[in-house]
Structure 1
Amino acid sequence: MRFNPKARLDRGRVRDAGRGSGRGSGGRPGGGTRLPIPSGVGAGGIGGVLLLVVVAVALFATGGLPGVGGDGGGTGATGGAAYDTARFSDATDTGRYDDCRTGADANRSPDCARVAVENSLTDYWDGELGRDFEPEQALVTFTDDVQTGCGPATSAVGPFYCPTDASIYLDTRFFDEVLERRLGGPDGGFVEYYVLAHEYGHHIQNLTGQMGRVRTQQGPQSDAVRLELQADCYAGMWTRAATTTEDASGQVLISELTREDITLALAAAETVGDDRIQERTQGQVTTETWTHGSSDQREAWFLRGYEEGSLQACDTFAVERV
């Protein structure tokens, strides 16, 4: 992927919380949606493979985010939502992204590329949802642990979206230390962009009421798996249109996206399939415990979003089998 050097970056929603901003708390964030990963990355490692419930149904069944309406199962976006996140906000910012101003910076720096991708995702979904769209509150990077609206979290939970404060969190070491080294996944810039697009997809699900549709929480055809596969499909939708997204002045943000980028996204989707993770970490596949979907499912739904490019095509809850 290449960024347009003339594009201007908006750093307003991207910050770095630094090291240990969660004040050493262990465990996982309650109600977050995340990638399942093995334990032991960073402080407060979680025993076993994190194949836990991906969403707190009680939270989402009542409408999701504070200030975001919904009927706990509908698909219509509420629009005009105002997030009241003051009591969850962590003002810490290390200044990691202060020098990220243009697309030229994004071409030189992985950190600035992260800002550009966030900008691209925001512009894309604004175009898709129109007046019903609200951007995520923040994309927060951290080291070791972090305090979130869903509670304290460590690096061991992997990248995740917290619906309470409408923010995406990730320890950027995840891609080298877990996805590549522990799970044998691919190495490359678009791997991270696929993950960011997937987590942004959870924000879109929260806006549109999809999270309230989760009732069954484990198994290859469960609602939890359908939710995750829909986020993969949304990632594919953005990828299809990424080179058309623009900055605030109308400059294209992403000037080039190659077939190699798509291949990396598919390889990443394969790596984080429940069956692939179970095979590598426990030596056997137990389908009844799946929460995110198999490698084949994840690849197929990413491709569906990429090839068809519509919310209707990504309605995983409307099909008999995913």
Structure 2
Amino acid sequence: MGRPPRHLPAARSVEHPLPSTEDVLRALVQVMGPLARLLLASGVDYTRLAAELKPLFIEQARLELLRSGQNATDSAISLLSGVHRKDVRAWRMQGLSSRIEKEVSISSRIFARWVQDPLYRDRRRRPRPLPRLGPAPSFDTLARSVTQDVHPYTALTELLRLGLVTVKTVKGRDIIVPHQEGFVPPAGSRDLLDLFGANLADHASAAVANLLGQPPRLEQSVFAEGVTPETAKELGELARKLWAQARSEMIAEATRRYEADKDRSDANCRVRFGAYYWAEDEAKDGSRSEGGAAVPRNHAGESAANGGGDED
């Protein structure tokens, strides 16, 4: 007498309809355009990218199976991910991947304190130039208020390397002048690459959560089409101004709440709040109809991904 058949897993009820496969692929092709440009410029071809994506698909398939209450066997992972079973087995033998949490760099922490602490800001609430040494407010006291583990000279050296500050000599004293645009590491630096990965990953996480019907996250944008290059430039300047205001308020409130929460046992959450601005000449970038005429677009409005409003 044979074994009784296995019980089939209960079908998962879907409260919100999921987008079709073709629609998802079409959206991802649009997202991957700029990323493919970065990959090719950095010498990463399709074969290398596919090799790096294989363990990523395996890991996400395993997590999806666990979330749905199914056993994450090699066969189940292979079926869901599309990765050959022998590759899944090899991945499992080498050990499951673990996420490496990076500590926020000293340079970004110093800039955050510089922006939010009234002692180190000017009347316009911008980070003020500071004497390198001496009593507060000075760069020495600023750096020591952030960490006692790194000497202020070492922190200053790193900020200079990143081009985030300059040193001016006034009446024989070194004055540290911050970059007024905030913490923006130079192009091509590892610091900027780390920000790139973290920002895009969390932005994508918010958008995907909205698409999958999870509690709505803030993921909205304002757009305008059919404007002149001059208008695009001026709107970009406005965007920077609005971001500077929002950044200052968010850093101040996040710092206050961190100090209140840091000793609590349930202080396990992390948050990220960001903004971006992009402008392009669509005619020059190929956004033309087949006949060669520019596509007429005159519109301004607000966009939200799948109802992604303010998170409760």
Q: TM-score if structure 1 supplies the norm length?
A: 0.24
- Structure number having the greater helix percentage: 2
**Highest Rg: 1 or 2?**
2
